[in-house]
A and B are shown apart, each in its own frame.
Chain A
């Protein structure tokens, strides 16, 4: 009886974690595509976001086999840090934080830093969206485990 009740919860929790892993792995490969194939220069803030995103692709996969609900705790911290850096970056690009405080140009002799896809999707915006999505999925997974 107990087994049957907890089964749907675990099943969905795993599925949400799996979805979060797909998002993280796609973002990792996507950012590598930008830098290694398209040769887009990487700014300092992008590196900080990568530091949060790349381990997510690995850690979430490890949390899937065997399924370890505690992974939400570790992955959540990474996603949270990445989210704040992405938010800061988006504000910076939008000009809400003054240009003089912009650390992006530092260390990159190549001028263009913010490449936008389709005219409106800049890399920081995609990053913020991705971290948000992972956060929501992790939160969902956590809720399903605890209920």
Chain B
């Protein structure tokens, strides 16, 4: 009899410890992060520049969930006109994505960043095979944008481009971005992953800021 009581109380204690640790971890994770780590000067921004609510999204163009979230984030920006903007930062976690991300930055110099991103998402099946990015295929997909190819290839090698991507990767590591997409709304991460969690964070941030 004593053994059973011992067993049940130890089992209960273990489960309790798990639950307490989970709550503590989530509380510590929901703290705000340093602005210089969260945002990069000059990163692509969708929505009004002077919006007080910023959704920072770490994404990989090869990531299927990032593709699925893209229209949702656009909808959130439209839902609160003038109040919400989204900043794209790169987390090229898939093998080969580091090259594709350079292409996105190069497309910016020809003012076609968003078209390039949308096209890459839309045609993802053509250049992402078994979770691996195929940079040459991605480049073929982007040819549809009629970019100046010579400039495009030269811009990919610009030191500013390389530095920008390096900073994104570095900040991503600081912020523990291990999977994409990862969102920070005015510095706060989602308590758990999901559409509702993101829209609730934005709702709260808008209520706080306006």
Binding site for B on A (CB under 8 A): 14, 18, 22, 25-26, 29, 32-33, 37-41, 61, 64-65, 107, 109-112
In the complex, which residues of chain A have a beta carbon less than 8 angstroms from the beta carbon of B25? 33, 37-38
Given contacts A29-B18, A33-B18, A33-B22, contact A111 B7 (CB under 8 A): no
Instruction: Quote the shortest CB–CB distance from B6 to chain A (angstroms).
Output: 7
30 contacts between A and B (CB under 8 A): A14-B3, A18-B3, A18-B6, A18-B7, A22-B10, A26-B14, A29-B14, A29-B15, A32-B18, A33-B18, A33-B21, A37-B21, A37-B22, A38-B25, A40-B178, A41-B178, A41-B179, A61-B11, A64-B3, A64-B7, A65-B3, A65-B4, A109-B62, A109-B63, A109-B93, A109-B94, A109-B95, A109-B131, A110-B178, A112-B178
In the complex, which residues of chain A have a beta carbon less than 8 angstroms from the beta carbon of B63? 109
Distance of A45 Cα from B204 Cα, bound (Å):
41
Distance of A109 Cα from B179 Cα, bound (Å):
9
Q: Which of B7, B17, B131 contacts A61 (CB 8 A)?
A: B7
In the complex, which residues of chain A have a beta carbon less than 8 angstroms from the beta carbon of B21? 33, 37
Across chains A and B, which 6 residue pairs bring their CB atoms closest together, nearest first?
A109-B131, A29-B18, A109-B94, A37-B22, A110-B93, A110-B178
In the complex, which residues of chain A have a beta carbon less than 8 angstroms from the beta carbon of B11? 25, 61
In the complex, which residues of chain B have a beta carbon less than 8 angstroms from the beta carbon of A111? 93
Q: In residues 154-183 of chain B, which contact A (Cβ within 8 Å)? A: 173, 178-179
In the complex, which residues of chain A have a beta carbon less than 8 angstroms from the beta carbon of B62? 109
Q: In residues 1-38 of chain B, which contact A (Cβ within 8 Å)? A: 3-4, 6-7, 10-11, 14-15, 17-18, 21-22, 25-26
Distance of A39 Cα from B26 Cα, bound (Å):
11
Residue of A nearest to B60 (CB): A109
Instruction: Quote the shortest CB–CB distance from A126 to chain B (angstroms).
Output: 15
Given A25-B11, A65-B7: 15 more A-B contacts, CB < 8 Å: A14-B3, A18-B6, A22-B10, A33-B21, A33-B25, A37-B21, A37-B25, A41-B178, A61-B11, A65-B4, A109-B63, A109-B93, A109-B131, A110-B178, A111-B93
Distance of A33 Cα from B25 Cα, bound (Å):
10
Q: Binary interface profile of B, 100-119, with partner A (CB < 8 Å = 1, else 0)?
A: 00000000000000000000
In the complex, which residues of chain A have a beta carbon less than 8 angstroms from the beta carbon of B6? 18
Asked whether, in the complex, the Cβ of A39 is within 8 Å of the Cβ of B179, the reply is yes
In the complex, which residues of chain A have a beta carbon less than 8 angstroms from the beta carbon of B131? 107, 109
Asked whether, in the complex, the Cβ of B7 is within 8 Å of the Cβ of A39, the reply is no
In the complex, which residues of chain B have a beta carbon less than 8 angstroms from the beta carbon of A39? 178-179
Instruction: Quote the shortest CB–CB distance from A42 to chain B (angstroms).
Output: 11
Instruction: Quote the shortest CB–CB distance from B27 to chain A (angstroms).
Output: 12
Asked whether, in the complex, the Cβ of A25 is within 8 Å of the Cβ of B179, the reply is no
In the complex, which residues of chain B have a beta carbon less than 8 angstroms from the beta carbon of A41? 178-179
Residue of A nearest to B95 (CB): A109
In the complex, which residues of chain B have a beta carbon less than 8 angstroms from the beta carbon of A26? 14
Distance of A107 Cα from B10 Cα, bound (Å):
37
In the complex, which residues of chain B have a beta carbon less than 8 angstroms from the beta carbon of A33? 18, 21-22, 25
In the complex, which residues of chain B have a beta carbon less than 8 angstroms from the beta carbon of A107? 131
Distance of A112 Cα from B180 Cα, bound (Å):
13
Most buried by A among B4, B62, B179: B179
